[in-house]
Structure 1
Amino acid sequence: MSQTVDRALSILPLLAQGPADLGQVAERLGVHKSTALRLLRTLHEHGLVHRQQDQRYRLGARLFALAQEAVENLDVREIAHPYLVALNERTGHTVHLAVYEEGEVVYIDKVESRYPVRMYSRIGKPVAITVAAVAKLLLADLPEAERRAIAAKLDYPPYTPRSTPNAAAFLKELATVREQGWATDLGGHEESINCVGAPIRGADGRVVAAMSVSAPNVVVTAEELLTLLPQVRSTADAISREYSGEPATKDSA
């Protein structure tokens, strides 16, 4: 990177801390005021910084517009898919990716198990929201008032004896998931199917998606599946880093 570009980019995190005048910018960059002014003018011409009436500079509206556009165009499925495939290849089990949309938790990606036993889940299909690990992860991240409102409106079908029975139990489990940072479904939807999941977070720390590994009892026990939790969490963390624009390698998934 050229020195000029490096200096110009160094101005942005400085102004992110608050408005600064020409002297402060020059001092932080270690350059003459004339050099700092030239850099600021260039950034101003592109709308990345704005000069206030008090002659101090702040971040420009164009920068926020670009950031918002970038976030809106991020495709978590496209970013996550190679990591899901890698985890599937290591474990052999079904891997899911889900998001929360319009009151439903929906699968947006699935990598099938290598074993003959197949799960009935499908991309685009809503999950059993009161029991699924991915649903717990997504709802647990919502503000408390929203969690309570959702829990109060849900039905609690008794899929199995291990299904979540009511809103109070659901909220208690969401609180646990929120605190520990991972979730399970151990026979809550289908007695023979177990699942462990972890959240995928954006740059602001909020959960944008959730992923899970699922397997039937005939392949692995619940206890054996839970031993994969570190791999599931490290995969989710790797996806989160790439989604947030931080350095990440697929080898770390």
Structure 2
Amino acid sequence: MSQSLLRAIALLERVAGGTATLGELAEAEGVHKSTVLRLLRVLEDSGYVQRTDDFRYSLGPGLFRLAQQALDDIDVRALAAPRLRRLRDDVGQTVHVAAFDGRTATYVDKLEPRDAAVRMASRIGSPAPLHCTAVGKVFLAALPVPEREALAATLDYPRLTPNTLASPQELLAAAAEVARRGWAHDDAENETFINCVGAPVLGPDGRVLAAVSISVPDVLLPREAVHDLVPHLLSATQDVSRACGYLPAPPTGTEPGTEPGTEPRPDEESVP
């Protein structure tokens, strides 16, 4: 890859971290302002960066169009399949993938062990109730609190087992715990003999694209042992999230050369 292309990518990443002046970007890259300006003009002409009235650079609309197209093109099921097959084989249990349309969770994939002694009743395309499945709780927990509360208030709460959560208050308390902890459980809440753990798959913007669960009949493992599978689950969902373009937030702090106000604003049309 050419040095100019690498430098242009680095500039985009720095601008994505916060608006910056030409001087700040040049200092951070360790090159002359004229080199940075030449690249910024190419990026600006393409719509990938834009310059504000106070001579600072921010991401441009062209980049957002590309980002939206990338989001639209993400096929979570296809990207996840190799890693989730490995998860299934590692734990020897059934793995589900679910999607969410804002109100309803739906199973979109199911990976069963080849020698499964007990088959799950779930089917691809069947709904996953939000109030009594691990994947449902993952999706609910991902919503902003006002949306979470509004949705919980509209749900039906059929009691499918003695452990099923039966009210918005119980579900909201469980969702808050999921949001804090990062994973969900279904302790025989949807079916009397099935325990599950679930975790989110995140997209480039940090939003939940899908939820993955491990489901285990209690004749194979007790509930506590199912919870012990969470590290395997989180390792898999983190790998799938990265495959979908998610990058964890960098440590707090500002990179050298990007502090606002470190130098006078230059007239960028005449580079000293």
If the length of structure 2 is used for normalisation, what is the TM-score?
Answer: 0.83
Counterpart residue number, 2:251: none
Shift of 1:102: 4.1
Question: In the TM superposition, what is the alpha-carbon distance from 1:53 to its structure 2 partner?
Answer: 4.9
Which 10-residue stretch deviates more, 159-168 or 214-223?
214-223
Q: CA shift at 1:136, angstroms?
A: 0.5
Distance 2:217 2:145 in 1: 33
- Alignment size in residue pairs: 247
**1:150 has 2:140 as partner:** no
Query: What are structure 1's unaligned runs of at least 5 residues?
Result: 248-253
Secondary structure in 2 aligned to 1:156? coil
CA distance in 1, matches of 2:82, 2:63: 30
Distance verdict in 2 for CA 1:160–1:59, change over 3 Å: closer
Check 1:11–1:164 CA distance in 2 against 1; reply closer, same or farther (3 A cut).
Answer: same
Aligned-partner Cα distance in 2 for 1:14–1:183: 35
Residues 202 and 246 of structure 2 are in contact (CA less than 8 Å); yes or no, is this contact kept in structure 1? no
CA distance in 2, matches of 1:147, 1:101: 14
1:136 aligns with 2:132: no
Task: State the one-letter code of the partner of 2:9.
Answer: L
Which deviations, in whole Å up to 9, do the C-alpha atoms of 1:10-67 show, x marking residues without a partner?
2213333444444444333333333223222222232222344555543221111111
Equivalence for 2:252: none
2:236 alignment partner AA? T
State the SS of the aligned residue for 2:109: strand
Equivalent residue letter for 2:235: S
Shift of 1:127: 1.1
Q: Which amino acid aligns with 1:43?
A: L
| Structure 1 stretches of 4+ moved >3 Å | 17-28, 51-58
Distance 1:160 1:19, change over 3 A: closer
Query: Matched residue of 1:149: which SS?
Result: helix
The answer for the alignment partner of 1:101 in structure 2 is 101
Q: Which stretch of structure 1 is more off in the superposition, 18-27 or 41-50?
A: 18-27
The one-letter amino acid of 1:218's match is: V
Partner of 2:195: 194
Alpha-carbon deviations, 1:79-108, whole Å to 9, x = none?
Answer: 111111111111221100112114100111
1:82 and 2:79 aligned: no
Structure-2 residue corresponding to 1:41 = 41
Residue in 2 that maps onto 1:206: 207
Secondary structure at the residue paired with 2:139?
A: helix
Q: Secondary structure, in 3 states, of the residue corresponding to 2:211?
A: strand
Shift of 1:164: 0.9
- Note if contact 2:94-2:214 (Cα within 8 Å) is conserved in structure 1: yes
Looking at structure 1, the residues matched to 175 and 166 of structure 2 have their Cα atoms a distance apart, in angstroms, of 14
- AA in 2 matched with 1:39: L
More off after superposition, 131-140 vs 204-213: 204-213
Letter in 2 for 1:244: G
Match of 1:163 in 2: 164
**Letter matched to residue 204 of structure 1:** D
Shift of 1:211: 0.7
Shift of 1:203: 3.2
3-state DSSP of counterpart to 1:176: helix
Distance 1:203 1:187 in 2: 33
Distance 2:223 2:19 in 1: 55
CA distance in 1, matches of 2:88, 2:37: 53
Give, as a single letter, the amino acid of the residue that structure 2 aligns with 1:232: L
Distance in 1 (CA, whole Å) between partners of 2:108 and 2:26 is 48
Say if 1:25 and 1:175 are closer, same or farther in 2 by CA, change over 3 A.
Answer: closer
1:225: how far off?
A: 1.8
3-state SS of the aligned residue for 2:50? strand
> What's the TM-score once normalised by structure 1's chain length?
0.89
Structure 2 distance, partners of 1:45, 1:209, is: 36
Q: CA deviation at 1:162?
A: 0.9
* Contact residue 206 and residue 246 of structure 2 kept, 8 A: no
**In structure 2, how many angstroms separate the alpha carbons of the residues matched to 1:239 and 1:219?**
27
What is the percent sequence identity of the aligned residues? 46
Aligned to 1:223: 224
